[in-house]
Amino acid sequence: FFFLPASLTAFDGRLASAFFLQARAMPPSLFRRKKKAEAVEAGPAADAPAGSSLAAYADVYSLERVSARDGPPSGSGGPSLRDRARQRLVSEVLGTLRAMPCGAVLLVDGVTMPVISSLFRVSELMEAGVHLVEHITMRGPDGNYLRRQQLTSLPALYFLTPSVESLGRLIDDFRNPKAPAYASAHLFFSSRVSDALVAKLKASPAMPRVRSFKEVHLEFSLREADLFAVSPSPGAPSALATLFRIDTDKPAKRARLHEVHKIGTSLATLFTTLGAAPIVRAATSAVAAAIACATQEKLDALDRAGALPAVEEAASGAPPPLLLVLDRAFDPLSPLLHEFTYQAMVHDLLPVAEGDRYRYTYVGNSGQSLSKEVLLNEADPLWLRYRHMHIADLTVELDADYKAFLRDNEASAGLASGNADLSEMAAGLRAMPKFQEAMGRWSLHISLVSELVSRYEAFGLEAGA
């Protein structure tokens, strides 16, 4: 969400002038890097060493440049992964609300919360009939579970991962038959529920309140329209540290095995959402092979349950998808490199939190320093347009596009600066809300690129470019 008061336009102009002055003095290495990328796109140089591979050009961000105005990759032209996942949750989970005219409460845990938040806005959930979203496994600073409001007149939709903790929290909501937390329970699980957990549920006081039970098989979150991430286990370290630690004690082995099966489960539910059974292949490393085996095991279980299409060529003759599992040992150099496209530089050089949250500082109307938190995601059309651009191209493109934007909105721009007659003021006022929102986005990205160029020079990245 972006908002800038109209009188802040003068500041935007100063910021833009300062930025573009700096852009004209862009370090030459950035332009050399851009030319090097273009040369690689054209093919290996004549003096390239015999047998050289893409690893020889590892310092080039991308061999397949994406136009800044192309938007997200279209793939085969069908719906994006986000669209497919949204449709599944709408039809299999939120569709239950059609039989509930009074609406319901949606309860999630640490694994399914990122799934829901990456697919739906709060307003969209409310329009579907969800009055409240509750995180049932969230703990307070004292380590105890947070207290939740009891809504005994409303039914509850539980979208949970099949874990002992989440099931225990569900059962606690109906521990007292005379004072249940909710009127009834509709249970949806992100992956297969073990027989032991099913038996525990059947023997619990919550069972008389259960009205429906379904395994949805969707356990991954979306970072972009076609970019997913394995949902993290709450409080767990990163997969890299868990999978590659050298400890051989039993706790380390259990943690490693849990991580392998968690990743395998997420990958299996991915192909349930895609509606295709893959052929699984892996590198020879132990980690990649273990994840591939776990994924195949989960896929086989889904196939036996009838939740996955058979591995066969489609009627069009297209082969089944190939899932190739690699680990960081396959490409150890990439984390050591600095990439010079907009999105890569933002995540490399700026403190971006939770994947897309960034807080930046700007100067207000009275000269005071202000800060605001913004989301760098596909909801921002400028981020969508520029994120894959090389920084050298972006400084030129952003200058031209910003000037074109001001020309196309002369009435609002003149009103904001105080240089407008009555007719221009009337036209400017009608367009002012959209103009302010757009100016907020331009201010953000001008500030971002200016900060990236400053950090590029401050960190001495030009010497290694």
Question: For the CA atoms of 433, 435, 437, 438, what is the dihedral angle to 10 degrees?
Answer: 160
323 neighbors 295 (Cβ within 8 angstroms)? yes
- The residues facing 157 across adjacent strands are 106, 186
Q: Which amino acid is residue 364, in one-letter code?
A: G
Domains of the chain: 6-43+57-61+339-458 (3.90.830.10), 81-215 (3.40.50.2060), 236-322 (no CATH)
pLDDT band of residue 43 (cuts 50, 70, 90) is: very low
Nearest to 258, CA basis, from 163, 156, 189, 159: 163
pLDDT value for 320: 84
pLDDT value, residue 50: 36
The whole-number average pLDDT for the span 37-43 is 43
312-345 burial code (b ≥16 CB/10 A, e <16): eeeeeeeebeebebebeeeeeeeeeebbbbbbbb
Round to whole Å and give the CA distance between 416 and 458: 35
Query: What is the structure's pLDDT at 311?
Result: 54
pLDDT category of residue 56 using cuts at 50, 70 and 90: very low
| 407 confidence band (pLDDT: 50, 70, 90) | confident
pLDDT given for residue 58 in this prediction: 26
What's the pLDDT tens digit per position in 341-369? Answer: 999 999 999 999 877 889 888 776 666 78
Answer whether residue 45 shows pLDDT above 50: no
Confidence (pLDDT) at 270? 94
Residue 81, C-beta contacts closer than 8 angstroms, at least 6 positions apart:
222, 225, 226, 227, 228, 270, 273, 274
Q: Yes or no: say if 81 and 274 are a contact pair by the CB < 8 Å rule.
A: yes
**Mean pLDDT score across all residues of the chain:** 78
Q: Is the pLDDT reported for residue 331 higher than 90?
A: no
Tens digits of per-residue pLDDT, 154-165? 999 999 999 999
- How confident is the model over 67-97, as pLDDT tens digits? 233 334 444 568 999 999 999 999 999 999 9
CA dihedral sign, ordered 164, 166, 172, 174: negative
Q: Cα 385 from chain centroid?
A: 17
pLDDT for 364 equals 65
pLDDT in tens, 255-269: 899 999 999 999 999
Residue 340 above 60 pLDDT? yes
Confidence band, pLDDT 50/70/90 cuts, at residue 323:
very high
Q: Determine the residue type at 399.
A: D
Provide mean pLDDT across the span 166-170.
Answer: 97
pLDDT tens digits, one per residue of 106-156: 999 999 999 999 999 999 999 999 999 999 999 999 999 999 989 999 999
Residue 418: the pLDDT is 52
Task: Check residue 369 and give its pLDDT.
Answer: 80
User: What average pLDDT score do residues 370-379 get?
Assistant: 87
- State the first-to-last Cα distance of the chain, in angstroms, to the nearest integer: 35
Interhelix angle 195-202/164-173, nearest 10 degrees? 10
What is the reported pLDDT for 411?
Answer: 63
Question: What whole-number distance in Å separates Cα of residue 250 and Cα of residue 254?
Answer: 6
- Mind listing the pLDDT tens digit for each residue in 391-405? 999 999 999 999 888
* Cβ proximity of 59 and 341 under 8 Å: no
